[in-house]
Amino acid sequence: QSVLTQPPSASGTPGQRVTISCSGSSSNIGSNYVYWYQQLPGTAPKLLIYSNNQRPSGVPDRFSGSKSGTSASLAISGLRSEDEADYYCATWDDSLSGPVFGGGTKLTVL
């Protein structure tokens, strides 16, 4: 069981906007930045969002992140077939003194 809670699946049609939620606690999301990773099958995760809502260079602005209290969300607008992947939220946990991850959300583009 993961420290951060994500829905196991999400879906949308091309062009749609989808959101993925991530819920934590005061010792992790509530007091630290949230990060989002995209993992394509058979590959290592790739950083998608850092510091709640910042995009590394090369990440399209279709991807956006937000945080409120002990929850965060990732939004993907203008959904494309290549967005089909697993998405993980992550943050630092003060109690663990290490990073914690969500269980992952499998995004299907219908």
The contact set with other proteins (CB under 8 A) reads: 2, 32-35, 37, 44-47, 50-51, 56, 88, 90-92, 96-104
Whose Cβ is closer to other proteins: residue 16's or residue 95's?
95
Minimum separation from the CB atom of position 109 to other proteins (A)? 20
Minimum separation from the CB atom of position 75 to other proteins (A)? 19
State the residue for tokens 């969002």.
49
Minimum separation from the CB atom of position 86 to other proteins (A)? 8
Q: How far apart are CA 56 and CA 37, in angstroms?
A: 11
Whose Cβ is closer to other proteins: residue 32's or residue 64's?
32
State the residue for tokens 């949230």.
34
State the residue for tokens 């992947």.
85
Local structure of residue 41 (DSSP, 8 states): T
Q: How far apart are CA 24 and CA 96, in angstroms?
A: 13
Minimum separation from the CB atom of position 104 to other proteins (A)? 4
Closest Cα to residue 67, out of 55, 80, 50?
50
Whose Cβ is closer to other proteins: residue 12's or residue 24's?
24
